[in-house]
Amino acid sequence: MFSILKARLFQGYRTGAFPPAAPKLPPHFMGRPEVEPEAIPEDAASICPVGALDSQGEDRGIDLGRCIFCGKCAGVPGIKFTREYRMGAMTRGGLLADGRHFEPDKQQNEVIKKLCGRSLKIRQVSAGGCAACELDFNVLNTLAWDMGRFGIQAVASPRHADCVLVTGPVTKNMRLALEKTYEAMPRPCFVIACGSCAISGGLYRGTPESSDGVETLFPVDLYVPGCPPHPATLLEALLRFLGK
């Protein structure tokens, strides 16, 4: 007993100061890009391995729903990656970095704010993911982030969940399992697409074994871009989703 108390005193308080204070991001962190559409060369799109960069169309800019933040376009004129970690969006259009003024959107759905304002029960489904997004979501359960202090909790059964957080491109082998999970949740229920694979298919977009993300199956209520999303990006998006 005394050894436990001694260890607890030695460990001290380990939860980070985020969100009241800005998160500690690694030096190589690549956040939301700043884009000057008119400065992007017309042939720049060929450098992007996932087709996230549009250098010729009406929506010239970067689609963060496809972007894997590989950094290949970081040196292209008109594109500068910042350290802005607040990248979650509640509409698909909110993921377009096209030079317009950026302001993180707020939760406008009164049903979500009423039902989930004090707690959010999440059933996470890896629909063919590589484990990167899954691991960074799991990190939010550790002492360093402690998402439970905001009433956010991962649950084992979809019958206890308010929403499903999907990672991976939704492969054929996982499509039925995801559909069953969604059908098992009590209504109303919500869908969170976590990572570029879940949003658009990511690197696997257009392949015959991929469903090109969860949006092809269900309406999505929150998009969290990244490959994988940084824990601060994901936690901040979840808090905004709750209306906090």
Task: Tell whether 150 and 229 lie within a shared domain.
Answer: yes
End residue of a domain, out of 86, 102, 118 = 86
Is the residue at 159 inside a domain?
A: yes
What is the tens place of the pLDDT at every residue in 157-205? Answer: 999 999 999 999 999 999 999 999 999 999 999 999 999 999 999 999 9
Residue 53 is predicted with a pLDDT of 95
State the CATH number of the domain containing residue 183: 3.40.50.12280
Residue 76 is predicted with a pLDDT of 94
Angstrom distance (rounded) from CA 159 to CA 115: 16
Task: Tell whether 116 and 69 lie within a shared domain.
Answer: no
Angstrom distance (rounded) from CA 214 to CA 177: 12
Is the residue at 55 inside a domain?
A: yes
Residue 58 is predicted with a pLDDT of 77
Angstrom distance (rounded) from CA 221 to CA 232: 19
**Taking the CB of residue 27, how many other CB atoms lie within 10 A of it?**
5
Task: Tell whether 114 and 232 lie within a shared domain.
Answer: yes
Domain count for the chain: 2
> Is residue 244's pLDDT more than 80?
yes
Q: Quote the percentage of the chain above a pLDDT of 70.
A: 98
Angstrom distance (rounded) from CA 217 to CA 127: 12
Residue 17 is predicted with a pLDDT of 86
Task: Tell whether 210 and 133 lie within a shared domain.
Answer: yes
Angstrom distance (rounded) from CA 169 to CA 205: 8
DSSP 139: G
Q: What is the mean pLDDT of residues 208-215?
A: 92
Task: Tell whether 223 and 122 lie within a shared domain.
Answer: yes
Task: Tell whether 146 and 236 lie within a shared domain.
Answer: yes
Task: Tell whether 137 and 179 lie within a shared domain.
Answer: yes
Task: Tell whether 237 and 116 lie within a shared domain.
Answer: yes
With H, G, I as helix, E, B as strand and everything else as coil, classify residue 18. coil
> Is residue 8's pLDDT more than 70?
no
Mention every residue, 6+ apart, whose C-beta is less than 8 A from residue 131. none
Is the residue at 37 inside a domain?
A: yes
Q: What is the mean pLDDT of residues 211-231?
A: 96
What is the tens place of the pLDDT at every residue in 110-137? Answer: 999 988 888 999 999 999 999 999 999 9
Task: Tell whether 141 and 52 lie within a shared domain.
Answer: no
Task: Tell whether 209 and 177 lie within a shared domain.
Answer: yes
Is the residue at 5 inside a domain?
A: no
Q: By residue range, what is the domain housing residue 58?
A: 33-86
State the CATH number of the domain containing residue 71: 3.30.70
Residue pair 179/122 in contact (Cβ under 8 Å)? The answer is no
With H, G, I as helix, E, B as strand and everything else as coil, classify residue 122. strand
Question: For the chain, what is the mean pLDDT?
Answer: 93
Is the residue at 143 inside a domain?
A: yes
Task: Please state, in angstroms and as integers, the Cα–Cα distance from residue 103 to each residue in 84, 86, 89, 112, 198, following that order.
Answer: 11, 9, 10, 21, 23
Residue 117 is predicted with a pLDDT of 82
Residue 13 is predicted with a pLDDT of 65
Task: Please state, in angstroms and as integers, the Cα–Cα distance from residue 157 to each residue in 134, 152, 211, following that order.
Answer: 17, 15, 24
Residue 68 is predicted with a pLDDT of 97
Is the residue at 91 inside a domain?
A: no
Angstrom distance (rounded) from CA 138 to CA 70: 23
Structure tokens at 24: 């500690």
Is the residue at 48 inside a domain?
A: yes
Residue pair 183/96 in contact (Cβ under 8 Å)? The answer is no
Task: Tell whether 115 and 75 lie within a shared domain.
Answer: no
Is the residue at 140 inside a domain?
A: yes
pTM attached to this predicted model? 0.93
Q: State the pLDDT confidence band at 62, using cuts at 50, 70 and 90.
A: very high
